[in-house]
Amino acid sequence: MQIDPRGPRFGAAVTTLILAITLVTRSPWLLALQAVVFAFGAFDASPYGLLFRRLVRPRLGPPSELEDAAPPRFAQGVGLGFAIVGLIGFAAGITPLALGATAAALLAAFLNAAFGLCLGCEMYLIIRRLQPGRTQ
């Protein structure tokens, strides 16, 4: 599937904002909300993507090129992983874990929004490298 690359970028900007407010207010509910968004995003149904298509894209010109949906979808899954760890931190009362995991997800979202760098995608090969080797 091919998508407008500005969609995930817009989503990353909203995610950055939500996670920043999460850190400042230390609200587990906001993080839970973002975790739900990540979960939908991992199945190509991000609410932020919907927001982009309904409200933002009609105001923009057509995209200069399309890109594959798989990388951003994978990155949403990575984001969900961090959000879940953060929620466990909040639930268990381990504040450093909660804030650390939220900060990690925020870092990835910020790099995507500001620099177009997909940290989750970069992690993919490194994770695969750590798994037991195949000869061919």
Partner 1 sequence: MVGIVVLGVTLVVGVIIGFAVRRRDGKVRAVKQVVSDARAVVTSDDLGVELGERVTLVQFSTAFCQPCRATRRILHDVAEMVPGVRHVEIDAESRLDLVRRFDVMRTPTVLVVDVAGNVVKRASGLPRKADVIAAVGVAVDGPSHESSHQSDSV
Applying CB under 8 A, the residues found at the interface with partner 1 are 5, 20, 23-26, 67-68, 70-71, 74-75, 95, 99, 102-103, 106-107, 110-111, 114-115, 117-118, 120-122, 124-126, 128-129, 131, 133-136
Asked if residue 78 lies in contact with residue 116, where contact means CB atoms within 8 angstroms, the answer is no
Q: In the complex with partner 1, which residue's Cβ is closer, 26 or 57? A: 26
Q: In the complex with partner 1, which residue's Cβ is closer, 29 or 55? A: 29
| Calpha distance 63→114 (Å, rounded) | 18
Least Å distance, CB 66 to partner 1, is: 10
Q: In the complex with partner 1, which residue's Cβ is closer, 58 or 126? A: 126
Kind of pairing between the strands at 2-3 and 67-68? antiparallel
Least Å distance, CB 98 to partner 1, is: 10
| Calpha distance 50→32 (Å, rounded) | 19
Q: Left, alpha or beta for 62 (phi > 0: left; psi -120 to 50: alpha)? A: beta
Least Å distance, CB 103 to partner 1, is: 5
Beta partners for 67?
A: 3
